Amino acid sequence: MALAGRQVLVIIGGGIAAYKSLELIRRLKDRGARVRGVLTAAGAQFITPLSVASLTGEPCYQDLFSLTEEAEMGHIRLAREADVIVVAPATADLMAKMAHGHANDLASTILLATTAPVLIAPAMNVEMWKKPATRRNLEQLKADGIHVVGPGAGDLACGETGPGRMAEVPEILAAVERILDAGPRPLAGVRALVTAGPTLEPIDPVRFISNRSSGLQGYRIAEALAALGADVTLVSGPTNLATPADVRRVDVESAREMWQAVRDALPVDVAVCVAAVADWRVTSPAAEKIKKSRDGLPALELTENPDILASLAALPAGERPRLVIGFAAETEDVVRHAAEKRRRKGADWIVANDVSGGAVMGGARNRVWLIRGDDTPEAWPEMDKAEVARRLAGEIAAHLAGAAEAEGSA
């Protein structure tokens, strides 16, 4: 196990999500890690030092100017003895300190002094998360090599809704394990693009055309590609999922917004189009809510949306990704329809899945067929979507390695 015997330092920032850090410590210990806790002054407004100490089995560290600890240069010891440092929750204030190299308390001093990998789990109000200053700080932290997991979207403690929820404990644990796992990274240097989730096409200010996609399969694919070392951009329709660790996420709503975000992400080596993009949109959405009428149903004129998969596949040489992969959600004659879609859209591979039972879109498991250029279907057994993602990422890595070897011997 990646965590067995490893030293993990958990820095707890000041936010209502601090309570999750106690569960994180417990689960890290369950997996064999040795855990120390640093509680910021703001964090101590939400949980107690005694709670942290009870779960870690060590003192809870708080004070940069502690006579007992700093006589032994405690902040340096904490910084250097950790195999990984997890900041959860990472507040806007902590992120700003890290991005600008501040060191005015124990937490920020440790983070500036450490040579260990650092993982942050941001958590804050939705408007704070969206602010340009926070976005700049986030990009600076990523450029500095800081790993990021989350945040997710949903109901926040402040009563608002949107991105800003701290990633759930299992997601943070998985990110820590990936960081500590010294396994091969065959996709290092590869740029990958993944689309995920549904699109929303407005009818009027309160109604829209959409579908049942949860985005989970696309998010797991982005996560699996990043775990193999790829530089991943995830273009996502509306979901309630946390951003996978080490993945750059761009949020969109409509198909046209998704296509623009995809174009902005180019050039890439691999594109995996998992998003369930609405085929049609209302030509002229109503500016006001459409009212019921005794005159009958409203007439909705539809127009075709951009075909993102076909457009990517049709890009000229030099701009087209080396590998373009689509997904085909079908309800009958799954393999035949998927193979026809691959040829029609010009994709290199297509992943077919049967959604007729209603348990795949929005569910945790999937059964797929991988169809490559010769249209011979490769049936995979039903498995968790994370396992589907890992297997597909492995196939992508093998394909690119084979292509590189062939080019080298040509």
Catalytic residues: 158
The torsion angle over the Cα atoms of residues 88, 93, 96 and 98, rounded to 10 degrees, is -50
Cis omega before residue 151 (within 30°)? yes
Q: What are phi and psi of 184, to 5 degrees?
A: -65, 150
CB 154 within 8 A of CB 168: no
Q: Give the CA angle between residues 379, 367, 256 to the nearest 5°.
A: 110
Please report which residue ranges of 144-202 form alpha helices under DSSP H: 169-180
Any bridge partners for residue 349, and if so which? Answer: 325
Angstrom distance (rounded) from CA 163 to CA 223: 18
Tokens of 377: 């279907």
CB 232 within 8 A of CB 222: yes
User: Residue 62 in contact with residue 89, Cβ under 8 Å?
Assistant: no
- The C-alpha atoms of residue 10 and residue 111 are separated, in whole angstroms, by 11
Strands 118-122 and 84-90 turn out to be parallel
Asked if the bond preceding 89 is cis, omega within 30° of 0, the reply is yes
Nearest CA to 290 out of 364, 227, 356, 205 is that of 205
Burial of 402 (0-12, 13-18, 19+ CB in 10 A): exposed
Helix residue spans in 191-324 (DSSP H): 216-227, 255-265, 308-313
